[in-house]
A and B are shown apart, each in its own frame.
Chain A
Amino acid sequence: MLETSANGPFVTGSVRLVHAVGMHARPAVKLTKLAKRFQAQISIRASETADWINAKSVAKVMALRAPRDSTIEIKALGDDAELAVAAIIDLVATDFPETGA
């Protein structure tokens, strides 16, 4: 579940959403803020059939409405893509911890 892999120019990964109420407002803000720290283009989707959305757009991430236990797929393109995918997987897997940052 916690793995990243190279897929063409993209770094991809997936992680299960364990947050009790799914991707609601507060996790969405945290994910967006984290994504914005990276230069890479980062896209996510909550199911294989969904459109990829920009992980740096808080409105789009909030609109994901991913329920608990859904799998979030991540793909990123850019110099720090690998770090970005790993960081987002970590955030989701650790259930969006409160941080001072």
Chain B
Amino acid sequence: MNDMVGIVIVSHSQDIAKGTADMVRQMVGSEVTVAYCGGNPDGGLGTNVPLIIVAINDAWSSKGVAVLVDLGGAETNSEMAVEMLEPERRKLVVVCNAPIVEGAVMAATEAAGGSSLEQVRAVAEELTAG
């Protein structure tokens, strides 16, 4: 059982998604589960609802999952992915309104301290509030 909020990174680009996940692992450590997805199945740019659901499942924690996204479709597809989860899991997933790289590092730092999903989201979104 994992008692830290999990992090999901959703970018249009596979490289950005992977690079962001690498930054989180190297800067924050490997105790927080980080999953990512990016690009479409043909290797181009895009985001894909089934792949986002897989990433959410990979990062799943009883404390919830914080999703960091880049532009437009990444956000709407992530919201759609959350809608497609079982109702009791939906409330345990939040899509953060934060820059993807900075938000992921800060959310993971907060998650590593055992914080709640709401606290993790607030820390990621502190960047946009200021």
Contact = CB atoms under 8 A, between A and B. Distances in A.
Question: Which size class do B's interface residues fall under?
Answer: 10 to 19
B83 interface: no
Given A59-B123, A59-B127, A29 B113 contact: no
A58 B109 contact: yes
Contacts of B123: 57-59
Contacts of A56: 113
Interface in A10-33: 25-26, 29, 32-33
Interface in B102-130: 105-106, 109-110, 112-115, 123, 126-127, 130
Contacts of B27: 25-26, 29
A74 to B, nearest CB: 18
A101 B29 contact: yes
Contact of B113 (A25, A37, A59, A62): A37
A36 interface: yes
Is chain B's binding surface mostly helix, strand, loop or mixed?
helix
Interface string A51-78: 0000011110010000000000000000
A25 B108 CA distance: 13
Interface residues of A, number: 13
Nearest to B113: A36
Given A59-B123, A59-B126, A33 B106 contact: no
Contacts of B106: 58-59, 62
Contacts of A59: 106, 123, 126-127, 130
A60 B44 CA distance: 37
A32 B112 CA distance: 10
A59 B29 CA distance: 17
B80 interface: no
Given A26-B27, A59-B126, A33 B109 contact: yes
Nearest to A60: B126
Nearest to A36: B113
